[in-house]
Amino acid sequence: MVHERYRRHGRGFLAASAAVMVNAGLSDLTRWGRRRDPGPDLREHRVGLTGLAPAQEGLVLAHLTDLHVGLLTPRVRLERAVRMVQSMRPDLVLLTGDYLWHGLEFLPHLEDLARRLPRPAIATLGNHDHWCGAARVRAALEAAGVRVLQNERLRLELRGHPFTVAGIDDARTGHADVPRAMALTGGPGPVLALAHCPGSAPEAARLGARLILAGHTHGGALRPLGLTVPARAMSGRYLAGWYTVEGVPLYVGRGVGDSGIPIRLGREARPEVTRITLAAADR
C-alpha cells in the first residue's frame, strides 16, 4: 500500500516536471521567435475571375488568414501584416478564420488589428474561433467593422458592379454548410467563396463559386520534419498555394500566425499576406 502511494506520487511528480519543462521550452521558443521574426512574406498573384465587369478589371483583393492572435504569434508580425494590407490600398479585404490562438483575453488586440484594416472587409470563422467562442469572436470583428459570414452570402458593389462573397463556416468543427452558403449566389457578377478549410472547396466550386480562398494549413508549418498531418485535417491534398478544383481556382494561404509550436520550418511554410489582382477570365 505504501509503495503504491509512492508510485502514484512519483508519477504525478514526473508529469508535473515534464509539464514545467515543456512550458519553459515553449516560452523560450516564443521569445526566440519574437527576436528573430522577419514578418510575413508578401505574395502577389494575378488570377482570372469569371463574371468580372470591364470596370472591375484590376480589382485588388487582400487575403489574410490564421492570425492566431495570442501568446505564440509575435505582435510585430501581426502589426507588419496590417501595415502590408494598408499599403495595398485593396478594393476588398478577405479573412478566412482562426483569428485567436487560445482564449478570449486576446479579443481586444484582435479588435484593434481588425479596426485598422481597409474597408470593405469580409470574414468567415475557423476552428480556433469556435473553440474559443464563435459568438464573441464574431461580435469583436463586427464591432471593428468587419462583416462576418457564417454560411451566408453578401452581394456588394465594387466599382459600380455586383460582386458576391459567400462565407463558408468551419468544417473542422462541423459548422460548414456549403449549400446554404452558396444558395442564391446566381445572377450577375462574379462569385467568390471564403472557407477556412480548403476541403470545402470542391463542393463550393460545384455550386457556383468562381474563385475560392482558404487557410487552415499554415503551409504545413513543419514540413521538413514531416509533421503535416494535423495541418491536413479537413483539407485533403490542399496544403498551400494555387490549385484547380472542379475547374475553379483555389488559393490556400499559409497564414500569418502560429499555433501549437511557434516555429515554421521550410520556405513553403513561411507566414504570408496575399495580394490578388483580378482579371476577367471570360473575355
Same domain as 9, residue 25: yes
Q: Would you tell me how many other CB atoms lie within 10 Å of the CB of residue 133? A: 15
Which residue in the block uniquely carries the three cell numbers 494590407? 85
Both 29 and 146 in one domain: the answer is no
Question: Is the Cα torsion angle 126, 130, 132, 135 positive or negative in sign?
Answer: positive
86-112 pLDDT per residue, tens: 999 999 999 999 999 888 999 999 999
- Cα–Cα distance for residue pair 193/205, rounded to 1 Å: 9
- Range with the poorest average pLDDT among 28-37, 217-226, 242-251: 28-37
Pairing assessment for the beta strands 121-124 and 147-148 based on DSSP bridges? parallel
Q: 28 and 89, same structural domain?
A: no
At 176, give phi and psi (nearest 5°): -70, 135
Tally of domains in the chain: 2
CA dihedral (56, 60, 66, 67) positive or negative: negative
Q: Is the pLDDT of residue 224 over 70?
A: no
Strand partners, 29: none
DSSP lists the bridge partners of residue 211 as 192
> Structure pTM?
0.84
- Residue-range definition of the domain harbouring residue 238: 41-280
**Are residues 24 and 136 both part of a single domain?**
no
